[in-house]
Chain A
């Protein structure tokens, strides 16, 4: 909505904030792709599960949001590990094609959505907010206070993930596996362990995104679909498997959406990502930071 005053700057900031949530989703997705060469089509449902975990921890157990958030992240890590062990393991053991990973993660996504409809209910839910202040004034610009705080938490979590990947031994193994799987195995890296950990980390990040964003947006069983589609566009835009690409792509998409909403049409807010995807495929299929992919 264009309001008199500083509409463009306000929209830019709103876009940046959204970008930080998208990044939580997209970084995990691009990590999975980098290491396992698959796209997780149940990524949106990990977001949704994170939201519901926070909702029930705060409403049923009366926990504070800040206590509940680390628990959500921990549980989501375990869920990610379980998914890799139960469903994705045959990918490397039996060397299956793309269609297996796509259909099995799609099936998982469908299962989780309908599990949520059946057991959490189809109606909208709102977990308690992280902070009660609703507007922050910066000069003439007014920003939604809870969005600002929640986005800051998202950035902190992202930095943590970055530290894990760049400074720890398992992070080194992840980077090695992403660069060259066979080479990493020759160096004695346990590729199974790397896959499992990557899936756990990505799941924890997506769950965190859900636990944060669902306090601002609504929470419902299909809530993960739109954020997931956007993060697919983002990793295509940034370059599949590229971490920096995922972060930059998230910011770009967040800004494109909020400017598009302000300048063109709000009804088509969620459609702009598709235009971005078309442009990427037409002009730079390997994405902004991706290694050149081979055309066939």
Chain B
């Protein structure tokens, strides 16, 4: 067990965790429990995207595509192999790791924007393949997939599973960032030239982190598929990617709590914006631009600066 001291630093985090743990007991509306569960899903995606973009300075446009890869791999293996969805989620995770190793190996050895271009092209190809290979994927209609837990009528179990995955994700990111390997990550993020000069294999650091974040994303995507019961190309759509980017940027790029704050906030806000329909993404796009242009540290970073200074 970890010795937790109630220092200034960990108190707010513990409070937040306790708050999220008791929330379903207080808020008994299924609708809001579902919204929060989806919010956790986005928080996982935003946190992992932020590792590449915020800490390593590498922007992936295939993040939603990796969620979809996990969802499809899990749904297809559950459908054809008859395995339980829980095992399917791990197959989804493995699929994400394999594809990310391939893209990462191709494009992360190179400096500059090649990685981003490759992920963009890959995401688009993935969408085309899913739509064209109708026989296996049922195209844009989507695959129906069983729920994670049979016979449950409430979203409360899903809520806690999603929360557990989210906490596990953030905890492992925290551990990695504060390890010796985390120092390498920070070095690469600050200056690749300098890191290389220190003898760090920067390509290896980037590929490992890309695999790690993509595998978690695929795992979360598989979970999401079993949550909504339908796996369609929508999961990997650019709109979803846009949402994840908006959440991360608004919450605070390159900070650990930022993406979680951004994801939960924007998910709840977007429920209220539902009636505005088409203006929702327009507003989020505006938020990305304004935040990045004028409040580069996002909500978390800006608040921290205002409260603690510096």
* Neighbouring A residues of B116 by C-beta, 8 Å: 39, 41, 98, 102
- Identify the interface centre among A86, A274, A282: most chain B CB within 10 Å of its CB: A274
Asked whether B192 lies within 8 Å of A117 as measured between CB atoms, the reply is no
Smallest Cβ distance from B111 to chain A, in angstroms?
A: 5
* Neighbouring A residues of B122 by C-beta, 8 Å: 274
Asked whether B278 lies within 8 Å of A118 as measured between CB atoms, the reply is yes
Asked whether A87 lies within 8 Å of B289 as measured between CB atoms, the reply is yes
Known contacts A107-B289, A295-B110; is-contact A233 B117 (Cβ 8 Å): yes
| B155 close to A (CB within 8 Å) | no
Interface hit among A4-12, A171-179, A192-200, A264-272: A264-272
Q: Interface digits, A273-294 against B, CB 8 Å rule (1 contact, 0 not)?
A: 1100110011001000000011
| B58 close to A (CB within 8 Å) | yes
Asked whether B282 lies within 8 Å of A268 as measured between CB atoms, the reply is no
Asked whether B245 lies within 8 Å of A274 as measured between CB atoms, the reply is no
Asked whether B110 lies within 8 Å of A110 as measured between CB atoms, the reply is no
Interface hit among B124-132, B146-154, B258-266: B124-132
Chain B residues bordering chain A, tally (CB within 8 A)? 47
Instruction: For the complex, give the distance between the alpha carbons of A293 and B113 in Å.
Output: 12
**A–B pairs, 14, beta carbons within 8 Å:** A41-B116, A41-B120, A86-B293, A103-B288, A106-B61, A107-B289, A107-B292, A267-B128, A267-B132, A271-B129, A274-B124, A293-B111, A294-B111, A295-B111
Asked whether B286 lies within 8 Å of A111 as measured between CB atoms, the reply is yes
Instruction: For the complex, give the distance between the alpha carbons of A117 and B239 in Å.
Output: 13
Q: Interface digits, A201-232 against B, CB 8 Å rule (1 contact, 0 not)?
A: 00000000000000000000000011001001
Instruction: For the complex, give the distance between the alpha carbons of A126 and B70 in Å.
Output: 38
Having A41-B120, A107-B289, one finds 12 other A-B pairs with CB under 8 Å, namely: A98-B112, A103-B288, A107-B249, A107-B292, A111-B286, A114-B279, A225-B124, A236-B114, A273-B121, A274-B124, A281-B118, A285-B110
Q: What DSSP secondary structure best describes chain B's contact surface?
A: helix
Asked whether A114 lies within 8 Å of B278 as measured between CB atoms, the reply is yes
Asked whether A296 lies within 8 Å of B196 as measured between CB atoms, the reply is yes
Interface residues of A (CB under 8 A from B): 38-39, 41, 86-87, 90, 97-100, 102-104, 106-108, 110-111, 114-115, 117-118, 122, 225-226, 229, 232-233, 236, 240, 267-268, 270-271, 273-274, 277-278, 281-282, 285, 293-296
* Neighbouring B residues of A87 by C-beta, 8 Å: 289, 293
- Identify the interface centre among B125, B249, B281: most chain A CB within 10 Å of its CB: B125
Instruction: For the complex, give the distance between the alpha carbons of A102 and B284 in Å.
Output: 16
* Neighbouring B residues of A285 by C-beta, 8 Å: 109-110, 114
Asked whether A281 lies within 8 Å of B106 as measured between CB atoms, the reply is yes
* Neighbouring A residues of B86 by C-beta, 8 Å: none
Known contacts A98-B59, A270-B128; is-contact A110 B242 (Cβ 8 Å): yes
Instruction: For the complex, give the distance between the alpha carbons of A9 and B215 in Å.
Output: 46
| B35 close to A (CB within 8 Å) | no
Asked whether B109 lies within 8 Å of A296 as measured between CB atoms, the reply is yes
Within the complex, which residue of B57, B128, B245, B253 is in contact with A271, where a contact is CB–CB below 8 Å?
Answer: B128
Instruction: For the complex, give the distance between the alpha carbons of A226 and B125 in Å.
Output: 11
Within the complex, which residue of B110, B279, B289 is in contact with A118, where a contact is CB–CB below 8 Å?
Answer: B279
Residue of A nearest to B196 (CB): A296
Q: Interface digits, B89-121 against A, CB 8 Å rule (1 contact, 0 not)?
A: 000000000000000001101111110111011
